[in-house]
Amino acid sequence: MAEELPDIDSHASDVYGTSRAGDFKLVQFASAQGVARLTLNRPPANVLSVDMIDEIVTALESLEYQRDVKLLVVNATGRYFSAGFELSDHMGDRTYILLEQFHRLIELIGRMDKPSLALVSGPALGAGCMLAAACDITLAAAGAKFALPEIKGGVFNTVAAALLPRIIGRKKAYEMILGGLALSAADAERIGLVSRALPEDKLEAEAAAIVQRFQDGSAPLLQCARRAVAGGLELLPADALKHAEDVYLNQLMATEDIEEGLQAVMGKRKPVWKDR
C-alpha cells in the first residue's frame, strides 16, 4: 500500500478555491484561477457507488459552461485513489445503472475540451484504474498500484475492454483484463498507462508545476488544441488532419488570444492572455 502523501490542500487554496461542500457529499469540487479540482472523498477506499459517480458526472457536466477553466485535476483523499466499484451496486438491476453512469463519466472525460490531470498516490483498482487512465496526464506516486481484479470475481471491466488496448497495447491489456496483472507505478509508466511515476515526496511539487504551466496558458487555445487531439483519436490520419485543420481555422483563428500569442512571439515577450 502506498505511503500517505503530504496534503496538497495545505497550500492549494489559492489555486483551487474553496470546495463546494454543500453541493456534493462524496466528492469535493471547486474551480478557481483557471483550474477545476475534483477530489474523490469517500474514505477509506473511495469506492465508486452509483451516487458517487452521479456527483462526478454532475461536476464534469458543469465544466462545459466554465469557459475559463484550463485544466481539470482529479485526485483523492486517503490512502486509495479508488478501489473500484461498490459491490452492492454491481448486483441485479443496479448493474445497468452503474455501468451506464460510469460509461457516461468516461465519455465526458474523453470528449470535454478541458485537459485533465490525474494524481494517483495510492492503489487504483478496477474502475478507479480506468478513471485515472482516462485522464490526459496521469502522475503516480512510486507506491501506487494499478490493477483490474474483476476477473477474479467473475466479471470484467467494460471500460478497460474498450479503451485499455488503445492505451497500452493489446498484449498488456490482455494480461491486465484477463490475467488480473497488477502493476507498480514504475511498470505502469513503462507501458504508458501513466505519464510519470514519481517518488512520493515529489508528486505534489510536480503536480503544482504542471498546474502552473496550464494556468500560464490561454483557456481558448488549450481548449482548441484539446479538441483537435481528442477529436482525431478515432479517425484515420487523413481525417484526423482535416479535423485538426477545421478546429484551427474555424475555432482557434476566431479567438483574440491567437493574435496576442503571435505578437508576443514576434516581440520576444510574454503573452498577456485575455482568455477570449
Predicted local confidence at residue 267, as pLDDT = 87
User: Which region, left, alpha or beta, applies to residue 84 given φ > 0 means left and ψ of -120 to 50 means alpha?
Assistant: left
The answer to whether residues 55 and 42 touch, using CB atoms and an 8 Å cutoff, is: no
Question: In angstroms, what CA-CA distances link 136 with 24, 88, 106, 175, 243?
Answer: 24, 30, 12, 23, 19
What is d(CA 247, CA 37) in angstroms, rounded to the nearest whole number? Answer: 27
Predicted local confidence at residue 270, as pLDDT = 86
What is d(CA 112, CA 114) in angstroms, rounded to the nearest whole number? Answer: 6
Model pLDDT for residues 74-87, shown as the tens digit of each residue: 999 999 999 999 98
Predicted local confidence at residue 17, as pLDDT = 40
100 vs 275, which has greater pLDDT? 100
Query: Sorting pLDDT into bands at 50, 70 and 90, what band is 94?
Result: confident
Model pLDDT for residues 207-239, shown as the tens digit of each residue: 999 999 999 999 999 999 999 999 998 888 999
Predicted local confidence at residue 213, as pLDDT = 96
Predicted local confidence at residue 259, as pLDDT = 85
Predicted local confidence at residue 11, as pLDDT = 34
Lowest mean pLDDT among 10-19, 44-53, 194-203: 10-19
Share of the chain above pLDDT 90, in %: 75
Mean pLDDT, rounded, of the chain: 89
Predicted local confidence at residue 261, as pLDDT = 85
Model pLDDT for residues 116-159, shown as the tens digit of each residue: 999 999 999 999 999 999 999 999 999 999 999 999 999 999 99
pTM of the model: 0.88
What is d(CA 93, CA 256) in angstroms, rounded to the nearest whole number? Answer: 50
What is d(CA 191, CA 186) in angstroms, rounded to the nearest whole number? Answer: 9
Share of the chain above pLDDT 70, in %: 92
